[in-house]
């Protein structure tokens, strides 16, 4: 501001340079905010996926407990290859259903589906900046209900039927088909 002829100060606006500096600062702050926001979206997606996996794992434990209570642990093999979503009273909103080897793009990213061909529960990751999967998996994380034999690692008693078959059921787990890391 500078005084005019009457002694009053004249109010001037920003110069073009000052305006450009303010716009640049706001642009930098917006870029930082958007970067942080996408990082938080990815963390939220990962947390939601892990929460559903925990729910499915609990549902699997309930299935096994029912078999144990009925004295029918031999039926645990029937859980292998099944769609774990069947065990939930209510399917998640991002569950697209069952497909037989769906083509890319049929199921949108951020959704689950059960692949009837491979008997895999598949999650298509939407925000995958920090996702590390095997080559060829792109944005897919696949899970499968697998049979675990002899959980302790010790063979059954000599001469037992389970040891003779070499395939005693130690349990059933929901496990990733291919290892992945999502930081």
The string of DSSP letters for 67-134 reads HHHTT-GGGGGGGTT--GGGGSSS--TTEEEEESSPPTTSS-TT-EEEETTTTEEEEE-S--TTEEE-
Say what the pLDDT of residue 168 is.
52
Domain assignment present for residue 1? The answer is: no
pLDDT band at 159 (very low <50, low <70, confident <90, very high): very low
Domain assignment present for residue 41? The answer is: yes
In degrees and rounded to multiples of 5, residue 3 shows phi and psi of -75, 140
pLDDT tens-digit readout, 49-74: 999 999 999 999 888 888 888 888 77
Say what the pLDDT of residue 138 is.
82
Does residue 126 contact residue 138 with C-beta atoms inside 8 Å? no
**pTM value surpassing 0.85:** no
Beta bridge partners of 174: 145
Q: Which residue range is the domain that position 132 belongs to?
A: 14-182
Domain count, the chain: 1
pLDDT band at 183 (very low <50, low <70, confident <90, very high): confident
Domain assignment present for residue 6? The answer is: no
Return the number of other C-beta atoms located less than 10 Å from residue 89's C-beta: 5
Domain assignment present for residue 5? The answer is: no
Domain assignment present for residue 9? The answer is: no
The size of the chain, in residues, is: 183
Domain assignment present for residue 80? The answer is: yes
Domain assignment present for residue 169? The answer is: yes
User: Which has more confidence, 33 or 94?
Assistant: 94
Does residue 111 contact residue 94 with C-beta atoms inside 8 Å? yes
pLDDT tens-digit readout, 104-142: 889 999 999 999 999 999 999 998 888 898 888 888 999
User: Which has more confidence, 8 or 33?
Assistant: 33
Does residue 71 contact residue 77 with C-beta atoms inside 8 Å? no
pLDDT band at 44 (very low <50, low <70, confident <90, very high): very high
Domain assignment present for residue 141? The answer is: yes
């Amino acid at each position: 501001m500078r005084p005019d002829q009457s002694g009053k100060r004249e109010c001037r606006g920003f110069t073009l340079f000052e305006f450009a500096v303010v716009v640049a600062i706001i642009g930098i702050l917006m870029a930082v905010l958007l970067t942080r926001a996408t990082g938080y979206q990815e963390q939220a997606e990962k947390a939601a996926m892990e929460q559903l996996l925990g729910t499915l794992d609990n549902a699997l434990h309930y299935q096994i407990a029912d078999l144990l209570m009925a004295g029918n642990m031999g039926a645990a093999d029937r859980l292998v290859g099944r769609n774990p979503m069947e065990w939930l009273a209510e399917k998640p909103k991002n569950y697209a259903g069952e497909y037989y080897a769906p083509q890319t793009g049929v199921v949108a990213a951020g959704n689950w589906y059960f692949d009837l061909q491979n008997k895999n529960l598949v999650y298509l990751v939407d925000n995958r900046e920090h996702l590390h999967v095997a080559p060829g998996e792109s944005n897919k994380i696949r899970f499968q209900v697998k049979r675990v034999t002899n959980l302790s690692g010790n063979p059954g008693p000599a001469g037992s039927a389970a040891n003779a078959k070499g395939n005693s059921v130690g349990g059933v787990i929901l496990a990733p088909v291919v290892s992945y890391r999502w930081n």
